[in-house]
């Protein structure tokens, strides 16, 4: 079973995205690239090189539903006619358009983000949505943890690896312990534990970083020999975040501004996500205290 990595350009700060072609029956594309002319052309060229036509694609599997990974899924599915699209059921907040907006607004307000900033983030995400077509509820099939995607000469085991997003999945080829990990594992950096509503109870936030650490441990237990990741981006480590929490108390927004002082709108949202995720984890480990005051959470060094 041949895994063909394909690098596609994106309009995002993170740079090119890696998608993976499994060039045997049923011909499968893992992730698709964003909906841009440049990515479409680069993908077509790569498929031609691999002697695959878009109309040969039978299965489109999404590691997660961020625009750079899922943007072309609907266009490819429509062109391939019989292709099915598979994504994990927990990918709710991202699958049908990027943000379940009301839920996100509440999560951001609780994190102490000022209203004007929230409005800026909302506008920015409206801009980002053009890089992906969304799907209706009945247009995709589920990815089940621990089940297998069968191919002519092998299989990929689905490993649900939530963290970066609730529905992120990785794929393990057991024969040589190769893993396709999407944004769960990136070279040199850790992915942003994106602020998301909990898929089971959307009024709560998803414990992204704690889930992510469990996912990493799970992948580690598979003893991967090679991990194909999605791409690169900024990282901030755990200890650094704890140092930013004073005895007097701060909101996640304050922490994110200290962690990432120079950020534009898109990265401010990611910065708040990063801060909230680390603060949640630190709180769950008893290293910092949190209280609800004046409609927002205030963190203190324990």
Residues at the interface with Zn ion (CB under 5 A): 66, 68, 183, 230
Q: How far is the CB of 191 from Zn ion (least distance, A)?
A: 7
Which residues are registered as beta bridge partners of 22? Answer: 3, 28
Structure token digits, residue 68: 């750079």
Report the residue number whose CB is nearest to Zn ion: 66
Q: How far is the CB of 69 from Zn ion (least distance, A)?
A: 5
**CB proximity list for 50: less than 8 A, separation 6 or greater:** 4, 21, 23
Within 13 Å of residue 117, how many CA atoms lie on the same side as its CB? 21
SS3 296: strand
Which one, 68 or 297, has the nearer CB to Zn ion? 68
Prior bond of 102 cis (ω within 30°): no
Measured CA to CA, the distance from residue 94 to residue 135 in angstroms comes to 11
**Cβ(300)–Cβ(246) under 8 Å?**
yes
Which one, 11 or 114, has the nearer CB to Zn ion? 11
Q: How far is the CB of 297 from Zn ion (least distance, A)?
A: 25
Q: How far is the CB of 206 from Zn ion (least distance, A)?
A: 14
**Cβ(231)–Cβ(17) under 8 Å?**
yes
Which one, 183 or 198, has the nearer CB to Zn ion? 183
Which one, 158 or 185, has the nearer CB to Zn ion? 185
Which one, 91 or 183, has the nearer CB to Zn ion? 183
Q: How far is the CB of 42 from Zn ion (least distance, A)?
A: 16
């Amino acid at each position: 079973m041949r895994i063909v990595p394909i690098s596609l350009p994106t309009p995002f700060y993170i740079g090119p995205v890696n998608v993976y072609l499994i060039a045997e029956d049923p011909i499968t594309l893992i992730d698709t690239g964003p909906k841009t002319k440049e990515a479409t052309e680069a993908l077509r060229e790569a498929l031609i090189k691999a002697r695959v036509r878009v109309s040969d694609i039978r299965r489109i599997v999404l590691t997660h539903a961020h625009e750079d990974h899922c943007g072309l899924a609907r266009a490819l599915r429509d062109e391939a006619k019989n292709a099915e699209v598979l994504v994990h059921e927990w990918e709710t907040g991202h699958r049908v358009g990027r943000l379940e907006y009301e839920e996100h607004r509440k999560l951001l307000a609780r994190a102490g983000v000022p209203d004007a900033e929230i409005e800026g983030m909302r506008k920015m995400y409206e801009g980002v949505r053009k890089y992906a077509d969304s799907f209706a509820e009945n247009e995709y099939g589920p990815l089940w943890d621990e089940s297998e995607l069968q191919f002519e000469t092998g299989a990929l085991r689905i490993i649900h690896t939530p963290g970066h997003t609730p529905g992120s999945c990785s794929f393990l080829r057991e024969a040589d312990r190769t893993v396709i990990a999407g944004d769960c594992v990136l070279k040199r950096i850790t992915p942003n534990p994106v602020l998301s509503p909990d898929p089971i109870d959307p009024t709560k936030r998803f414990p992204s970083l704690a889930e992510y650490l469990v996912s990493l441990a799970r992948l580690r237990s598979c003893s991967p020999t090679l991990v194909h990741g999605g791409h690169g981006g900024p990282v901030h480590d755990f200890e650094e975040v704890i140092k930013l929490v004073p005895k007097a108390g701060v909101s996640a927004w304050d922490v994110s501004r200290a962690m990432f002082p120079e950020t534009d709108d898109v990265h401010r949202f990611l910065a708040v996500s990063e801060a909230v995720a680390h603060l949640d984890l630190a709180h769950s480990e008893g290293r910092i205290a949190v209280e609800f005051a004046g409609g927002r959470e205030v963190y203190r060094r324990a």
